[in-house]
Structure 1
Amino acid sequence: MTDISATGGTLNGLSIREKTQPASADNQLGQSAFLELMITQLENQDPLSPQDNGDFIAQLAQFSSVEGIDRLNNSFDSFSAHFLSNQALQASSLVGRSVTVASETAILEAHGIVSGSFALPASTTQMRVDVYSEAGELLQTMPLGFQTAGEKLMRWDGLNLEINGEIVDWTAAIAEADLPAALPPGKYRFEVNAAIDGENTRLDTALSANVNSVTLAADGGISLNLAGLGTVSLDDVKQFN
């Protein structure tokens, strides 16, 4: 397993080289013995009843198949080395970037934006986004008003909420003296709830996270180590930001 935690194409000690596997001693012995057996068979065959040509050709074909399999194995080893090397290079370029994964938790950086998305299965007039502290305290409740069905893109800077490019004026009903301040950088949990067919429905969310490092497993699998979220598989990434 190899951890990659630097950008710029440097793989921090990761060394992946194309290796041409030499034929093993067992394979060489097997091929040599095969040929020796054929020659011995030809030398000692009954001259009055020589080996049938068809049988001899079949033996040659068998030998060719063994040689072909060896060459195929060597080619596959070379292909695997190239593929693994390419994966490592791609993985290193993800460090420091932001990705979107299925999550209710996100890190708000200083002067940063938390972006994400959720799918609304049906139009609704009652919908809200709740923001909780890491300790579970409800900090903000942002009503969204009428929303049509479909995929919704969300952006939040600690105070202002944007849905599909439009600012949600969720503080309009709050008295000026009670207007909230922007939340400081930190780890927050988001819940999106909507009234669907008369029932409150909690929607699945996908939120952005920064890639701190990348882990390349021996089997070629790639895991991303995300700030505040831990480890996720590269296959679970919904979007590269």
Structure 2
Amino acid sequence: MADYSPTTAATNSTDYMKAMQQTTNPAASAPENQLDQADFLRLLTTQLQNQDPSDPMDPTQFVTDLTQMSQLEATTKMNESINAMTTSFQSMQTMQAASMIGRNVQVNGGDFSHVEGNDSQFVLNLEQPLEDVKVVISDKNGMVQEIFLDELNAGEEYVTWDGIDEHGNVKGSDVYSVTAYGLDEAGEIEMIDTIVGSRVNSVAVADDSSVTVTLATGEKVAMDQIREISG
């Protein structure tokens, strides 16, 4: 342990004042990195070597700070790893959504994209058995076709429209609407939830990194609302 004397302290003070009076470049003298554990250990060793023997320092608080700093470093590294994983996941989600552009998807709703010459399929989601079930296909001018399904049990039922209207005409490619309903045991009319297909026109990424797709119907839906993807 180094000896302590007033003469040594005075000399060190004089040298310190001279150093403070010299013109320095703050950017050049600033540390490049924050203190790490090795720096803390060096500071602790230096303080112990140069402490005043008549008034020795208590290293307890210093060691406590070092322990806290170790915990902070571990937490920081864990946060960096989590942020990296989150960024990677968001990139994968965006790429996955972009790959759906031009493809057909099924979502909960009533509007669907019909392509002339093709069949359009949708799903009826019944919460209870219904009788006299009717499915009505409409466009902007009104009803196009009505499909009678009679009695259906609870669950999902697939329905196909061949693209022919009630007069036997082939309908062109456009956005159509489907409405389904039936009668319950009490004879009351119950609406039926429908799952329809549409083409994905574009993909958007919001500020919060959530991904939405814009369908050919103009509707915007979140990724988790898509039930099925087809070519």
Q: By the TM > 0.5 criterion, same fold?
A: yes
Q: Which residue of 2 aligns with 1:240?
A: 229
Q: Is the 8 A contact 1:194 1:202 kept in 2?
A: yes
Q: What is the identity percentage for the equivalent residue pairs of Structure 1 and Structure 2?
A: 27
Alignment gaps of 5+ in structure 1: 1-24, 161-177
Q: CA deviation at 1:204?
A: 1.5
State yes or no: 1:84 paired with 2:98: no
Matched residue SS, 2:82: helix
Q: Deviations over 1:176-221 (max 9, x none)?
A: xx85333332221111010013101111111001111211234321
C-alpha separation between the residues in 2 aligned to 1:139 and 1:190?
10
Q: Is residue 171 of structure 2 the alignment partner of residue 183 of structure 1?
A: yes
1:48-87 alignment runs, 5 A limit: 50-51=56-57, 54-87=60-93
Letter in 2 for 1:201: E
Structure 2 distance, partners of 1:205, 1:117, is 6
RMSD of aligned residue pairs (Cα, Å): 3.0
Distance (Å, rounded) in 1 between the aligned partners of 2:32 and 2:94: 32
2:205 counterpart residue number: 216
Cα contact 2:180–2:191 (8 A) shared by 1: yes
- Give the corresponding residue for 1:139: 144
Shift of 1:240: 2.1
Q: Show the 5 A alignment for 1:103-122.
A: 103-122=109-128
- Give the conservation status (yes or no) of the 8 Å contact 1:125–1:147: yes
Letter matched to residue 173 of structure 2 = P
Higher Cα Rg, which structure: 2
In the alignment, the residues of structure 2 paired with residue 233 and residue 121 of structure 1 have an alpha-carbon distance, to the nearest angstrom, of 24
Q: SS of the residue aligned with 1:115?
A: strand
- Do the aligned partners of 1:106 and 1:229 also contact (CA within 8 Å) in 2? no
1:148 CA drift (Å): 2.2
| 8 Å Cα contact 1:110/1:185 also seen in 2 | yes
Show CA shifts across 1:135-182 (max 9, x none): 3x122222112222221112222139xxxxxxxxxxxxxxxxx85333
1:69 maps to a residue whose letter is: T
Does the 8 Å CA contact 1:108/1:157 hold for their aligned counterparts?
no
Count of aligned residue pairs for this structure pair: 198
1:28 alignment partner AA: N
Structure 1 residues 92 and 60 mapped into 2: Cα distance closer, same or farther (>3 Å)?
Answer: same
Mark the CA change 1:75 to 1:83 in structure 2 (over 3 Å): closer, same or farther: same
Counterpart of 1:181 in structure 2: which amino acid? Answer: N
* Runs of 4 or more above 6 Å deviation: none
Task: Tell me the equivalent position of 1:154.
Answer: 159
TM-score by length of 1: 0.69
The code of the aligned residue for 1:96 comes to G
